[in-house]
Structure 1
Amino acid sequence: MRAWADRVVAPLILLCLAVAATPGRAQTSDLVSTNALRVCADPANLPMSGKDTPGYENALADLIGEKLGLPVRYEWFPMATGFVRNTLRAKKCDVIMGYAQGHELVLNTNHYMTSVYALIVPEDSPLAEVETLSDPQLKGLRIGVVAGSPPATHMGRNGLIGKAKSYALFVDRRNESPAEDMLDDLEAGEIDAAILWGPLGGPLVKQDHPGLKVIPLINETLPPRLHYRITMGVRQGEKVWQRELNSLIRRHQDEIDAILSEAGVPLVSDMGDAVLDVSQ
C-alpha cells in the first residue's frame, strides 16, 4: 500500500501544487485556444470586418494577436440572427471584436471605445452647422435613417419622420449595404441628410465620400441614448480570458485609439457628451 501511494498519490499532489502555482492557466477555460486568437467575425461587414478586404476590427484583432504572441484565425459568419450561437457559443472561436456593452448573449470585456450616432450632411451646405435633431433647419427635409434604430425615436419627437427615408436594419451584408446606399443617396440628392451609427458612417465617409461631413450627435439629452460603449465579447463564464483581454485593452488603449481614429470612427467621452481628439 505504501508503494502504491508513493507511485500514484504523490504525483497527483505534485500536479495539484503545480496547477495552483499557475492561477491564470488553472482557471482559463480549455475552450479558449492557446494556439491562435480565434476571432468570430462577419466576412462582409465593412468598414468593421471583411474577409477579402480587412476592416478596422481586423486591425484590432491583429493588434491583440500580436500582444498575445498568437496568429489570428477567423470563424466567418454573417452578423445576423444566430451569429453568437453559431460562432462563440459553438466554441468555434473565442472573441467577438466589437460588441455593445451589457448584452447578455456574451460576457463583455471592459469597453475599448465609446461612440455615437452621427448626422451626415454635405460639408458645403447650411446643414453643416446643425448639431441637434431639434434644429429648425431640418424641418421638412428628407432624412435617411435605419428603421428601428434609436435616432428614429428622436426624429419622431422632432417631427422629422413624415418625410424620412427608411433603410433596412437587418440584412445580409454579402448582398446589400443600407449604410452605403444611404450615403450614395445623399450624394445623389435623393435625401438631404443621413443618420448612421458613427463607427459605420464615419469610416465610410472617410473612405469614399470626402464631400460629406460627420456630425456626432452628442447634444441630444432625451432618451433613448445615442452613444454606446463597445467591448469585446467572450463566452459567459470565461472570466480569466475576459481579464486577460481587459489588461490588454488597458495597456494598449493608445494603440487601439490610433487604429479607430485612422479609420474615421468618431470617439466620444464615456458619457457621450464630448468628442475626443485622440490624434495627438
Structure 2
Amino acid sequence: MGGFRHLCLSSLVLACLGGGAAIAQTSDLVSKNAFRVCADPANLPMSDKAGAGYENRLADLIAAKLELPVTYTWYPMATGFIRNTLRANRCDVVMGYAQGHEMVLNTNHYMTSAYTLVVPADGELAEVAELSDPRLKGLRIGVIAGSPPATHMARNGLIGKARPYNLVVDRRHESPAVDMLSDLKAGDIDAALLWGPIAGPLVKQSYPEFQVTPLMRETLPPRLFFRITMGVRQGEKVWQRKLNSLIRRNQKDINALLIEAGVPLLTDMGTELLEAPQ
C-alpha cells in the first residue's frame, strides 16, 4: 500500500471527458460499452456479488459519470487475481488498490486511511490512540499476521499474547476480520488491530458497542496510513488520466459515500480525520 505520485491532468483530457474524443483516445482493450470492474465476489465490506459493498457503490458512481453500465469479472482477491482479471483483459479497473504496486498502473488516490485499534467503546481502552500506550501491556490483541501493525506490536512488547489471523485468504471460505471482531465481542481478545476501511464499516454495520480509533500518532516505520487508488493495466495512460479526472471532479461525492459506509478517511499525510460533509 504505497504513496501517491501522480501528476495533474492536462486541459485537453479534461475537456474531452464524457465525449467522443475521450472514447477515441482510450485503449482498444478498454471497453467502450461498459465499465468493466474486476472484484472479489465475497469481500464485504468492500465488494460482493449482491452489490452490497462500498466499492460496488463507488463503481456505480463512476459508471454513472461515464454513462455506462457496470459489469463485473469476479475472482477471489488472492494469488492470481490481477493475472486472471485485469491482465487477461476480462475487465478494465480494480476499484480499490494500494498505491505504488507494480502489478497495476495506479490512478491518483481517492482515499487515505489507516490501520485502527478496535476496542469496547465503554472501556478504558477507548482512550488509547497509540500502540506504545502502557494500558495495552499484557493484553490479548488480535492482529493480521504480517500486516504493518504487527511490527509496531513487536517493538512495544505486545506480541507475547497476540492472536494472529491469516493475511491471505479466500473470503468465500474464511473471513479473518469478521472472526477477529467476533472474538473481541466474545471476550477472547481484548482489542483488535484492523485496516480501517475494513474495520470501520464492519463495526458500523454489526458492532455498535465497539470504537474504531485510527492509529495516526505512530512516527516510526512502517507507516500505518495508506493511499488507495483504482488500478488499471500497465500502459493504459489515457484510461488512467480519464479516471484521475473523474476522481478529482467527484471527490466530495466519493468522500461522502465512503464516510457513510463507515470508512475512516484521513488527510493525505494521515494526520487528521476528514469530517463528514455537511
For 1:183-226, what per-residue CA distance to the aligned partner results, in whole angstroms no more than 9, with x for missing partners? 00001100000000000011000000000000000000000000
Letter in 2 for 1:186: L
For 1:154-200, what per-residue CA distance to the aligned partner results, in whole angstroms no more than 9, with x for missing partners? 00000000000000001110011000000000011000000000000
For 1:7-63, what per-residue CA distance to the aligned partner results, in whole angstroms no more than 9, with x for missing partners? xxxxxxxxxxxxxxx764443210000000000000000000000252000000000
Residue among 113, 116, 122 paired with 1:118: 116
Whole-Å Cα distance in 2 between the matches of residues 230 and 53 of structure 1? 20
Whole-Å Cα distance in 1 between the matches of residues 39 and 90 of structure 2? 11
2:184·2:191 contact (CA, 8 Å) conserved in 1? yes
Letter in 1 for 2:135: Q
Higher helix share: 1
Whole-Å Cα distance in 1 between the matches of residues 69 and 26 of structure 2? 19
2:51·2:57 contact (CA, 8 Å) conserved in 1? no
Partner in structure 2 of residue 182 of structure 1: 180
Matches within 5 A, 1:123-142: 123-142=121-140
Partner in structure 2 of residue 249 of structure 1: 247
Whole-Å Cα distance in 2 between the matches of residues 53 and 92 of structure 1? 19
Letter in 2 for 1:182: M
Partner in structure 1 of residue 211 of structure 2: 213
**Structure 1 residue ranges, 4+ long, deviating more than 3 angstroms after superposition:** 22-27
Letter in 1 for 2:155: R
Whole-Å Cα distance in 1 between the matches of residues 277 and 126 of structure 2? 22
Partner in structure 1 of residue 221 of structure 2: 223
Q: What SS does the aligned partner of 2:277 have?
A: coil
Structure ID, larger Rg: 1
For 1:99-140, what per-residue CA distance to the aligned partner results, in whole angstroms no more than 9, with x for missing partners? 000001000000000000000000000000001000000000
Partner in structure 2 of residue 239 of structure 1: 237
- 2:27 paired with 1:32: no
User: Which shifted more, 23-32 or 56-65?
Assistant: 23-32
Ranges in structure 2 where 5+ consecutive residues have no aligned partner: 1-19
Whole-Å Cα distance in 1 between the matches of residues 121 and 145 of structure 2? 25
Ranges in structure 1 where 5+ consecutive residues have no aligned partner: 1-21
Whole-Å Cα distance in 1 between the matches of residues 85 and 122 of structure 2? 44
- Percent identity reads 73
Paired residue total: 259
Whole-Å Cα distance in 1 between the matches of residues 50 and 249 of structure 2? 30
2:121·2:211 contact (CA, 8 Å) conserved in 1? yes
Partner in structure 1 of residue 3 of structure 2: none
Question: C-alpha root-mean-square deviation of aligned residues, in Å?
Answer: 1.0
Letter in 2 for 1:139: K
| Shift, 1:275, TM fit | 1.1
